[in-house]
Protein backbone atom coordinates (compact mmCIF):
# COMPACT_ATOMS: atom_id res chain seq x y z
CA UNK A 1 0.00 0.00 0.00
CA UNK A 2 1.34 3.42 -0.94
CA UNK A 3 2.17 5.84 1.82
CA UNK A 4 1.31 9.51 1.51
CA UNK A 5 4.90 10.46 0.80
CA UNK A 6 5.06 7.75 -1.92
CA UNK A 7 1.96 9.16 -3.56
CA UNK A 8 3.19 12.74 -3.45
CA UNK A 9 6.60 11.70 -4.77
CA UNK A 10 4.95 9.84 -7.62
CA UNK A 11 2.90 12.92 -8.46
CA UNK A 12 6.04 15.03 -8.50
CA UNK A 13 8.13 12.65 -10.62
CA UNK A 14 5.87 10.65 -12.93
CA UNK A 15 4.37 12.40 -15.94
CA UNK A 16 1.59 11.24 -18.25
CA UNK A 17 4.13 9.85 -20.73
CA UNK A 18 6.41 8.18 -18.20
CA UNK A 19 9.32 9.27 -16.05
CA UNK A 20 10.19 12.95 -16.24
CA UNK A 21 13.68 14.24 -15.57
CA UNK A 22 13.27 17.51 -13.71
CA UNK A 23 15.43 20.58 -13.99
CA UNK A 24 17.55 21.45 -10.91
CA UNK A 25 15.17 24.28 -9.96
CA UNK A 26 12.24 21.87 -10.06
CA UNK A 27 14.12 19.40 -7.88
CA UNK A 28 14.73 22.16 -5.32
CA UNK A 29 11.02 22.98 -5.38
CA UNK A 30 9.92 19.37 -4.94
CA UNK A 31 12.43 17.22 -3.05
CA UNK A 32 12.90 19.35 0.11
CA UNK A 33 9.19 20.19 0.08
CA UNK A 34 8.13 16.54 0.11
CA UNK A 35 10.65 15.80 2.86
CA UNK A 36 9.35 18.72 4.94
CA UNK A 37 5.74 17.58 4.63
CA UNK A 38 6.68 14.07 5.71
CA UNK A 39 8.80 15.40 8.59
CA UNK A 40 6.00 17.71 9.73
CA UNK A 41 3.25 15.10 9.71
CA UNK A 42 5.47 12.63 11.59
CA UNK A 43 6.52 15.09 14.31
CA UNK A 44 4.19 14.71 17.24
CA UNK A 45 2.78 18.06 18.38
CA UNK A 46 4.14 20.09 15.46
CA UNK A 47 1.55 22.15 13.56
CA UNK A 48 3.81 24.03 11.15
CA UNK A 49 7.04 25.92 10.62
CA UNK A 50 8.71 29.11 11.85
CA UNK A 51 11.21 31.08 9.78
CA UNK A 52 13.32 34.12 10.55
CA UNK A 53 12.77 35.90 7.23
CA UNK A 54 15.57 38.38 6.54
CA UNK A 55 14.67 39.47 3.02
CA UNK A 56 17.80 37.76 1.66
CA UNK A 57 18.18 34.88 -0.80
CA UNK A 58 18.69 32.06 1.71
CA UNK A 59 15.64 32.67 3.90
CA UNK A 60 13.55 33.56 0.84
CA UNK A 61 14.44 30.20 -0.69
CA UNK A 62 13.30 28.40 2.45
CA UNK A 63 10.01 30.33 2.36
CA UNK A 64 9.59 29.40 -1.29
CA UNK A 65 10.11 25.72 -0.47
CA UNK A 66 7.39 25.94 2.20
CA UNK A 67 5.08 27.50 -0.38
CA UNK A 68 6.01 24.75 -2.83
CA UNK A 69 5.15 22.15 -0.18
CA UNK A 70 1.75 23.77 0.28
CA UNK A 71 1.16 23.71 -3.48
CA UNK A 72 1.97 20.00 -3.68
CA UNK A 73 -0.29 19.18 -0.75
CA UNK A 74 -3.10 21.36 -2.14
CA UNK A 75 -2.91 19.68 -5.56
CA UNK A 76 -2.97 16.23 -4.01
CA UNK A 77 -5.67 16.86 -1.41
CA UNK A 78 -8.00 19.23 -3.26
CA UNK A 79 -7.35 19.16 -7.01
CA UNK A 80 -6.93 15.37 -7.13
CA UNK A 81 -9.28 14.78 -4.20
CA UNK A 82 -7.03 12.49 -2.17
CA UNK A 83 -8.94 11.96 1.08
CA UNK A 84 -5.94 10.61 3.02
CA UNK A 85 -3.82 13.69 2.33
CA UNK A 86 -6.69 16.00 3.25
CA UNK A 87 -7.21 14.11 6.50
CA UNK A 88 -3.52 14.42 7.37
CA UNK A 89 -3.60 18.12 6.54
CA UNK A 90 -6.59 18.66 8.81
CA UNK A 91 -4.89 16.72 11.60
CA UNK A 92 -1.70 18.79 11.35
CA UNK A 93 -3.51 22.15 11.48
CA UNK A 94 -5.94 20.94 14.14
CA UNK A 95 -9.11 21.72 12.19
CA UNK A 96 -11.29 18.76 11.09
CA UNK A 97 -13.25 21.03 8.72
CA UNK A 98 -10.31 22.80 7.06
CA UNK A 99 -10.75 22.85 3.27
CA UNK A 100 -8.32 25.20 1.50
CA UNK A 101 -9.34 26.97 -1.68
CA UNK A 102 -5.75 27.87 -2.66
CA UNK A 103 -2.25 26.93 -1.55
CA UNK A 104 -1.93 30.19 0.42
CA UNK A 105 -4.67 28.93 2.77
CA UNK A 106 -2.39 26.03 3.74
CA UNK A 107 0.59 28.34 4.18
CA UNK A 108 -1.51 30.61 6.39
CA UNK A 109 -2.43 27.71 8.66
CA UNK A 110 1.07 26.34 9.19
CA UNK A 111 3.74 28.94 8.45
CA UNK A 112 4.91 31.87 10.60
CA UNK A 113 7.63 34.25 9.41
CA UNK A 114 9.30 37.03 11.36
CA UNK A 115 11.64 39.83 10.37
CA UNK A 116 14.04 40.13 13.31
CA UNK A 117 15.55 43.53 12.68
CA UNK A 118 17.92 45.89 14.46
CA UNK A 119 18.68 49.58 14.15
CA UNK A 120 21.26 48.54 11.54
CA UNK A 121 18.74 46.71 9.32
CA UNK A 122 17.78 48.19 5.97
CA UNK A 123 14.32 49.34 4.93
CA UNK A 124 14.68 47.39 1.67
CA UNK A 125 15.08 43.99 3.33
CA UNK A 126 12.20 44.77 5.69
CA UNK A 127 9.94 45.62 2.75
CA UNK A 128 10.94 42.55 0.73
CA UNK A 129 10.34 40.22 3.66
CA UNK A 130 6.88 41.69 4.24
CA UNK A 131 5.83 41.47 0.59
CA UNK A 132 7.13 37.91 0.28
CA UNK A 133 5.20 36.77 3.36
CA UNK A 134 2.01 38.45 2.18
CA UNK A 135 2.35 36.94 -1.29
CA UNK A 136 2.52 33.34 -0.11
CA UNK A 137 0.02 33.81 2.73
CA UNK A 138 2.34 33.45 5.75
CA UNK A 139 1.56 34.87 9.18
CA UNK A 140 4.21 37.58 9.42
CA UNK A 141 5.68 39.51 12.34
CA UNK A 142 8.06 42.46 12.31
CA UNK A 143 10.05 42.89 15.52
CA UNK A 144 13.33 44.43 16.61
CA UNK A 145 15.89 42.76 18.86
CA UNK A 146 17.82 45.88 19.89
CA UNK A 147 16.75 45.64 23.53
CA UNK A 148 18.09 42.11 23.89
CA UNK A 149 21.28 42.97 22.00
CA UNK A 150 21.89 46.07 24.12
CA UNK A 151 21.31 44.09 27.32
CA UNK A 152 23.96 41.52 26.37
CA UNK A 153 26.48 44.23 25.53
CA UNK A 154 25.73 45.93 28.87
CA UNK A 155 26.36 42.68 30.72
CA UNK A 156 29.79 42.50 29.10
CA UNK A 157 30.42 46.18 29.88
CA UNK A 158 29.59 45.67 33.56
CA UNK A 159 31.89 42.65 33.77
CA UNK A 160 34.91 44.18 32.02
CA UNK A 161 34.29 47.98 32.02
CA UNK A 162 34.94 47.81 28.25
CA UNK A 163 32.41 48.69 25.54
CA UNK A 164 32.96 46.94 22.17
CA UNK A 165 32.27 48.93 19.00
CA UNK A 166 31.65 48.18 15.34
CA UNK A 167 34.48 49.04 12.94
CA UNK A 168 32.34 51.84 11.54
CA UNK A 169 32.38 53.35 15.04
CA UNK A 170 36.12 53.01 15.49
CA UNK A 171 36.25 49.48 16.84
CA UNK A 172 38.46 46.58 15.79
CA UNK A 173 37.61 43.59 13.59
CA UNK A 174 37.45 41.44 16.75
CA UNK A 175 34.87 43.73 18.34
CA UNK A 176 32.89 43.98 15.11
CA UNK A 177 32.63 40.21 14.63
CA UNK A 178 31.63 39.64 18.25
CA UNK A 179 28.83 42.21 17.98
CA UNK A 180 27.57 40.77 14.69
CA UNK A 181 27.57 37.27 16.17
CA UNK A 182 25.54 38.40 19.18
CA UNK A 183 22.89 39.85 16.86
CA UNK A 184 22.73 36.58 14.93
CA UNK A 185 22.54 34.40 18.04
CA UNK A 186 19.87 36.62 19.53
CA UNK A 187 17.75 35.95 16.45
CA UNK A 188 18.09 32.21 17.08
CA UNK A 189 16.91 32.52 20.69
CA UNK A 190 13.94 34.70 19.73
CA UNK A 191 13.06 32.33 16.87
CA UNK A 192 12.77 29.29 19.13
CA UNK A 193 10.82 31.27 21.72
CA UNK A 194 8.30 32.48 19.14
CA UNK A 195 8.07 29.03 17.55
CA UNK A 196 6.90 27.61 20.85
CA UNK A 197 4.50 30.37 21.83
CA UNK A 198 2.96 31.92 18.70
CA UNK A 199 0.41 29.06 18.38
CA UNK A 200 -0.50 29.63 22.03
CA UNK A 201 -1.20 33.33 21.33
CA UNK A 202 -3.72 32.18 18.70
CA UNK A 203 -5.34 29.65 21.06
CA UNK A 204 -3.88 26.79 19.03
CA UNK A 205 -2.26 23.62 20.30
CA UNK A 206 1.22 22.48 19.34
CA UNK A 207 4.45 24.19 18.34
CA UNK A 208 6.29 25.24 15.20
CA UNK A 209 9.45 23.66 13.80
CA UNK A 210 12.22 26.23 13.36
CA UNK A 211 13.66 26.27 9.83
CA UNK A 212 17.36 26.82 9.18
CA UNK A 213 18.70 29.03 6.39
CA UNK A 214 22.32 27.96 6.00
CA UNK A 215 23.30 26.85 2.49
CA UNK A 216 25.84 24.11 1.73
CA UNK A 217 28.78 26.44 1.14
CA UNK A 218 28.37 27.99 4.58
CA UNK A 219 28.21 24.56 6.17
CA UNK A 220 31.22 23.13 4.33
CA UNK A 221 33.45 26.18 4.78
CA UNK A 222 32.27 27.17 8.24
CA UNK A 223 31.28 30.59 6.97
CA UNK A 224 28.54 31.07 9.51
CA UNK A 225 27.87 32.09 13.07
CA UNK A 226 27.54 29.06 15.33
CA UNK A 227 24.06 28.85 16.84
CA UNK A 228 22.34 31.39 14.61
CA UNK A 229 20.47 30.43 11.42
CA UNK A 230 22.55 27.24 11.40
CA UNK A 231 20.81 26.16 14.62
CA UNK A 232 17.34 24.91 13.71
CA UNK A 233 15.06 21.90 13.84
CA UNK A 234 15.56 21.22 10.13
CA UNK A 235 17.43 23.00 7.33
CA UNK A 236 15.79 22.61 3.88
CA UNK A 237 18.69 24.24 1.98
CA UNK A 238 21.59 22.60 3.79
CA UNK A 239 22.56 20.64 0.66
CA UNK A 240 22.05 23.42 -1.92
CA UNK A 241 24.53 26.08 -3.04
CA UNK A 242 23.83 29.79 -3.33
CA UNK A 243 23.91 30.03 -7.14
CA UNK A 244 21.33 27.27 -7.48
CA UNK A 245 19.15 28.95 -4.85
CA UNK A 246 19.15 32.19 -6.83
CA UNK A 247 18.18 30.33 -10.01
CA UNK A 248 15.43 28.64 -8.04
CA UNK A 249 14.13 32.00 -6.75
CA UNK A 250 14.00 33.41 -10.28
CA UNK A 251 12.13 30.33 -11.50
CA UNK A 252 9.75 30.19 -8.54
CA UNK A 253 8.91 33.90 -8.76
CA UNK A 254 7.64 33.35 -12.29
CA UNK A 255 5.98 30.05 -11.39
CA UNK A 256 3.76 31.66 -8.71
CA UNK A 257 3.70 35.17 -10.22
CA UNK A 258 5.41 36.86 -7.25
CA UNK A 259 8.12 39.24 -8.55
CA UNK A 260 9.50 39.79 -5.03
CA UNK A 261 11.34 36.46 -5.36
CA UNK A 262 13.03 37.75 -8.51
CA UNK A 263 13.93 40.99 -6.74
CA UNK A 264 15.58 39.08 -3.93
CA UNK A 265 17.49 36.85 -6.35
CA UNK A 266 18.96 39.94 -8.02
CA UNK A 267 19.66 41.92 -4.85
Banded pLDDT at 25 (limits 50, 70, 90): very high
Q: Using 50, 70 and 90 to split pLDDT, how confident is the model at 21?
A: confident
pLDDT digits (tens, 9 = 90+) for 215-243: 998 878 877 888 887 889 999 999 999 99
Q: Give the C-alpha separation, 231 to 50, whole Å.
A: 13
**CATH no. of 4-143+205-216+225-266:** 3.40.50.620
Which is more confidently placed, 21 or 200?
200
Confidence band of 1 (pLDDT split at 50, 70, 90): very low
Q: What angle do CA 259, 232, 137 make, to 5 degrees?
A: 30
- Give the pLDDT band of residue 16 (cuts 50, 70, 90): low
Specify the pLDDT at position 9. 60
pLDDT above 90 for 250: yes
Instruction: Say yes or no to pLDDT of 13 above 60.
Output: no
The pTM of this model reads: 0.90
Dihedral angle, C-alpha 172, 173, 179, 180, nearest 10 °: 150
DSSP secondary structure letters along the chain: ---HHHHHHHHHHEETTEE----HHHHHHHHHHHHHHHHHHHSTTEEEEEEE--SSHHHHHHHHHHHHHHHHHHIIIIIS--HHHHHHHHHHHT-TT---SSHHHHHHHHEEEEEEE-TT--HHHHHHHHHHHHHHT-EEEEEE-HHHHHHHHHHHHHHHS-----GGGT--HHHHHHHHHHHHHHHHHHHHHHHHHHHHHTT--SEEEEBP---HHHHHHT-S-TTTTT-SSB-TTTT--HHHHHHHHHHHHHHTT-HHHHHHHH-
- pLDDT tens readout for residues 119-138: 888 999 999 999 999 999 99
CA 15 remoteness from chain centre = 29
Q: Average pLDDT over the chain, rounded to whole?
A: 92
Mean pLDDT across 39-66: 96
* Digit-coded pLDDT (tens) for 140-194: 999 999 999 999 999 999 999 999 999 999 999 999 999 999 999 999 999 999 9
Q: What is the pLDDT of residues 70-116, one digit of tens each?
A: 999 999 999 999 999 999 999 999 999 999 999 999 999 999 999 99
CA–CA distance, 246 with 265 (Å, rounded to integer): 5
Longest dimension (CA), the chain: 72
Amino acid sequence: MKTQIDALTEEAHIGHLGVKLHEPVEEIAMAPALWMWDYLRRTRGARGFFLALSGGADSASVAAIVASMARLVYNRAIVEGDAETLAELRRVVGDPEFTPTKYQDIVNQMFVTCYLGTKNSSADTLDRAKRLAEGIGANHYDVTIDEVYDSIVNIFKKATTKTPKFQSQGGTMTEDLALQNIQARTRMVVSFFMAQLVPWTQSQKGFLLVLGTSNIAEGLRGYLTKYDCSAADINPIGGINKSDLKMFLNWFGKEVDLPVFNEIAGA
